Chain A
Amino acid sequence: MKSASAPNDPWEPLPKAGWDRAAAGHLLRRIGWTATPEAIDQALADGLTATVERAFPVKAQLLPEPKVISELRAASAQFGKDRRGATATQRRNLQREARERFRDALREISLLWLQNAHQPDRAAVEKWVLFLSDVYVIGAQKVRNTVLIHDHLALLQAHAFGSAPELTKAVSRSPAMINYLDLQASKREAPNENFARELFELFVLGEGNYTEQDIKEAARAFTGYRQRDNRFVFARRQHDAGSKTIFDHSGNFSGDDVIALAYRQEAAARFLPTELIRFYLTDQALPEGQIAALGQWWRHTDFDLRQLALRFFQSRPFFAAEFRARFIKSPVQFYLGLMQDLQLDVAPLQRFTLQPLQQMGPMLFNPPNVRGWIGGRSWINSATLAARRQLVQSLFEGIDERRLNADEQVELAAAQSRGSSHFSIESADLARQLPAHDPQTAARQLIDKFLPAAVSSEFYQVVVDALPPANSPDQQDRARLLIWETLLQTPEYQLC
C-alpha cells in the first residue's frame, strides 16, 4: 500500500499526533452509528489502524438466513405448482396471498436488519452494506419478492470487502437487480437498455463517461440474463453473442467483458470514491484532483473495496477539521445511534421502530429512485425533524402496554422472554449511565457523552443553569432526565 503513495499524496494517513479522542469519535460515528465513551476508549487503546481493520474485516461474517426467508423460499416452489393448476380467480387469490407474505417478510427482515446492525461489532459492516445498497440500488416498490431483496443484500455482504469488478459482476446476476432493471425482459431481438445504462451511469462510471452507442451495444451483451425460481439463469438462446463495439473496443463481448471494459475506463477509478465521500464524509464536492489521486491509487489495488475503506478511513482528509460534526445523520443513523447511545434494545414492535423510521424518511429497501438517497439536508424538514424529536420523547416516556394491540403484546412478551427488554429510559438508567451530580460535572458528562463536538460556553451555561445543586437529589434526577432528553433533540445531536 505504501509503495503506491507519492510523496505529496493528499490521502496520506493521519499523523499519530492527530489520533485523539475527538478523532476517534469522528471515526466511530462515521463508520458506524455513534461513538460511546467506552468505544472511544477501546479505539484509542487499539490504535487507528487496528480499529479500522477490525471494522472492515477481510470477510464479513455472514448471518444465518432468517427463518422467514427460508420458509418463503420453500413456499415459492409450492406457490408455482399451485398456480399452474389454478383458475383465474384462484390465481388472483394466490397472488394476493403471496404479496401479503412478502410484505410481512419485508417488515420482518427490516426489523432483523435493525436489530443486527444495532450490535456495535456489526455496525461498520452493516453501514458499509447500506452504502453499497445505495450504489447498487433496488427498491421494494418494484421488486416485490422479499426473498430476492434478502438475497441481493446477502450478495452485497458477501462481496462487501472484495474486488469491485467482481461485485459488479455478481450484481449483474442478482435476481433482484434483473427484476429491478428489466433484464428479465431483455431479448436478443429487443435488448432492454435499462441495466446497461445504470451500469455505466450509477454503478461504475457516472454520467458523461459513455455514449448512447456504448449503452446500446452493452445492452446486447446482457441479453439472456434471467431469473427463475429466485435464481440466476443464463438463457443462451436469448443471448446476443455477436460482435459489439464498446468504448472503442470490438469483440464478441459477454456481460462480464463489458464490466471489465468499464473498469478500464478512467472514470471508474473516481466514481466509487466519489460516492464513498458523499455517503460517509460530506455532501460538498472535493477537488477533482484529490479524488483522482485516491482513484489512481485504488486502481493499483485492482479495485479492492477493503483496501479503499482502510485507506480512506485512515486518511488525513477524512479527519479534516472542516468535516467534523457537520454531517446530517440519516434516519437509520439517527435511530440506531440513539438506541446505542441510550443502551436500549430495538423493540420488536413495528409501531415503535419501523413506523418512526418511516416518518423520519423511508430508507430501508425503499430508495426514492434508482439514484438512491439524496442525503444531507434533504433528510430534514419540519415533519421529519418533529418525527426525530417525538421518537426521543417516546423513548423517555415508555411504552404504555395497555395501548398495545393483542398481537403486539404477544411480540413484546416473546422479546422479553428472550432477554431483550430494555425499550425505554427509566430513572434507573440515570444512575447507571450518568452518575455525576454536581451541576458542572453533570453538564460536562451529558454533553461529552452525547454530542459530537464541543459546544459554546453559552450552551454549556444553559445546561448548568438548568441543573439544581447536587444536594437536592430528587430535583436533580428530574432535571438531568429532562436535559438528557432535550440534548437528544438539539440540532447538534442531528449531526455526526
Chain B
Amino acid sequence: MSHSPLPSPPSSPFPTTRREFLRLSRQGLGLLAFSQYAPEFLVRSTLAGEPAPEKDRSILVLVQLAGGNDGLNTVVPFADDHYYRLRPSLGIPAKDVLKLSDSHGFHPACRPLHRLFQDGQLSIAQNVGYPNPNRSHFRSSEIWETGSNSNEYLATGWLGRYLDNECTGAPTGQDPQAVHITNGLPQTLLAANDHATFGVSGNALGRRQNAESGKLLEKLASDGSDSENSPANFLKHTLMDSLVTEKRVQRVLSNYRPESDYPNGAFASSLRNVAALIASGFSTRIYFVSLSGFDTHSNQANPHQNLLRTLSEGLAAFQQDLKSRRLDDQVMTMTFSEFGRRPNENESRGTDHGTSAPLFVLGSKVKGGFHGSPPSLDLQRNRDLTHSTDFRQVYATVLEHWLQSPAKSVLDSPMIKLDFV
C-alpha cells in the first residue's frame, strides 16, 4: 500500500501529520511551541515514540438501508406463484429478473450486483431477521444496531462493543477507529468507552460551510495563551484533536482520484470517500455509510428501482475502485436494514413494514452465493415472513471470521455462524 506524503497546508498554524510535525520541530519551532493545544496524538507519539497501530488489517464497511428495504422485490422468488399472488401489481415478471438460481433473481436494477454475484464476490444471506419482530423504524433499527433481543434494551451498539473490546487502551495513533458518513453517530457505534470515532456529516459531505467553518473554528480556538487547566482549555484540546482529524480527512477526500467511475449522488460519494480513506492508509477498520428512502408505503415501483440502482452502482464502483488498488482483499462490505416489508402489497401499490429480508456481503474474500434458506411465502393475507437466519448469526460470523474478534464479548448468546467468509 503506498502511503504518499500529504502536502502541508500553507495557512494552518498546526501540523497535521506526524511527519509535518517533526519537520516543523526541526525547523526550530520545537515541541513546546505546539504543546499547549497540540493535538494529543502528536504530543503523545512524539514524546513516547509510541508504536503505530497495525495496518493492513481487515476492514468492515457497513451499509445501512434506512427505512426498511423490500427484500422480496430485491431478491425476487420468481419461481414461486405465491409471490405473484402477494404482489399482483408490484411483482417483478420472471422474464425481467436477473437470474441468480433456478428460483431467485435480482431486480433488474441490480445488474452491477448481479455481475459481482456471478464473479463469486457477493454472498446473499437469505431471510435474515429476529424472533418477535418489531415493526417500528426506531425500535427495529435499535435492535439491529445494538444487536439485542427484541425484548432487550442495550445502551451500546454491536460495533461499539467491538471497539470496547479491541481498542480500549490500544495505541490510537492519529487515525479514527471508526468513521461514519452519516449525520450523527449511528447507534451501531455507541460504546461504553471513548473511542476516536469520526463522523463526516452525510448529505453535508462536501457541504462547503462545514469545511469553511472548520477552518474558522481552528483560528478561533487557537487564541489565548493561558496554560491553566481550565474547562476552556480542556475543550480546546478536545476540539483541536478532532479538527486535525477533520482536516486530514478533508484533504484525503479532496485529493482522491478514484480508479473507477462512481455514479453521481450522495451515496456513491460516501463510498468513494470510504475508498479514499482506506486507500490513504488510514488504520481505521470500521466504516459506516447509509442510504435512506426505503420506506416505500405507496407507489413504490419507481423509487425502489432507483434506490436499488443507486445501491448496486455505488457498491460496484466501490468494489472496482478497491480492486484496482489491490485493496479488495482487505475490505468486506455488508448491508443491513431495520426490516423487510410486508409480503402483501397494499392498496397504494406500496408495501408496509414487515420482518425479515436478505442482506448482502460483498468482497473478494467472501464465499459468494446464497446462504441460509429463503422464506416460505405460503402465507395468509397480511401475514409476515418468519425469519430463518438471525441477524446476530451474521454479526458473529463477521466478528469471528473477518474481524478476528470473539463474538461472545459482543453478543450475549452464542450464535451458529454462517460460512460466507
Contacts and interface: CB of A to CB of B under 8 A. Distances in A.
Interface string A355-396: 110110010000000000000110011110111001101101
A405 interface: yes
Contact of B194 (A381, A391, A396): A381
A468 to B, nearest CB: 13
Given A390-B183, A390-B199, A495-B232, A383 B220 contact: no
B260 interface: no
Contacts of B293: 402-403
Contacts of B155: 141, 362
A212 interface: no
Contacts of A350: 138
Interface string B162-202: 00000000000000000000011100001000111111010
Report which residue of B203, B231, B242 has the largest number of chain A beta carbons within 10 angstroms of its beta carbon.
Answer: B231
Given A103-B139, A359-B184, A382-B196, A491 B235 contact: yes
A168 B238 CA distance: 40
A393 B185 contact: no
Given A393-B210, A486-B217, A489-B217, A405 B238 contact: no
B397 to A, nearest CB: 27
Interface of B: 67, 132, 134, 136-139, 150-151, 153, 155, 183-185, 190, 194-199, 201, 203-204, 207, 209-210, 212-213, 216-217, 219-221, 223-224, 230-232, 234-236, 238-239, 241-242, 292-293, 295, 297
A107 B136 CA distance: 13
Contact of A486 (B137, B220, B224): B220
Nearest to B185: A359
A12 interface: no
A-B pairs, 3 with minimum CB distance:
A491-B235, A458-B223, A486-B213
Report which residue of A107, A350, A358 has the largest number of chain B beta carbons within 10 angstroms of its beta carbon.
Answer: A358
A485 interface: yes
A355 B138 CA distance: 10
A356 B232 CA distance: 23
A382 B231 contact: no
Contacts of B67: 405
Contacts of A358: 190
Interface of A: 95-96, 99-100, 103-104, 107, 141, 326-328, 350, 355-356, 358-359, 362, 376-377, 380-383, 385-387, 390-391, 393-394, 396-397, 400, 402-403, 405-407, 455-456, 458-459, 462-463, 466, 481-483, 485-487, 489-492, 494-495
Given A355-B184, A386-B197, A402-B293, 19 more contacts: A96-B151, A99-B151, A141-B153, A326-B232, A376-B231, A377-B231, A380-B235, A380-B238, A386-B185, A390-B199, A393-B209, A394-B201, A397-B209, A458-B224, A462-B216, A483-B216, A485-B209, A491-B239, A494-B235
Contacts, number: 132
Contact of A495 (B220, B223, B235, B238): B235
Contact of A491 (B134, B137, B194, B221): B221
A486 B207 contact: no
Contacts of B137: 405, 407
A393 B204 contact: yes
Contact of A326 (B151, B185, B203, B230): B230
Report which residue of B150, B198, B295 has the largest number of chain A beta carbons within 10 angstroms of its beta carbon.
Answer: B295
Contacts of A383: 185, 194-195, 197
A485 B221 contact: no
Contact of A490 (B153, B217, B231): B217
Contact of B223 (A377, A456, A481): A456
B19 to A, nearest CB: 22
Contacts of A356: 184
A328 B235 contact: yes
Given A141-B153, A400-B203, A387 B235 contact: no
B231 A328 contact: yes
B238 A382 contact: yes
Nearest to B67: A405
A456 B236 CA distance: 15
Contacts of B295: 405-406
Contacts of A393: 201, 204, 207, 209-210, 213
Contacts of B223: 455-456, 458-459, 462
A96 B221 contact: no
Nearest to B132: A96
Given A400-B203, A462-B220, A491-B236, A386 B198 contact: yes
Contact of B242 (A95, A327, A385, A492): A385
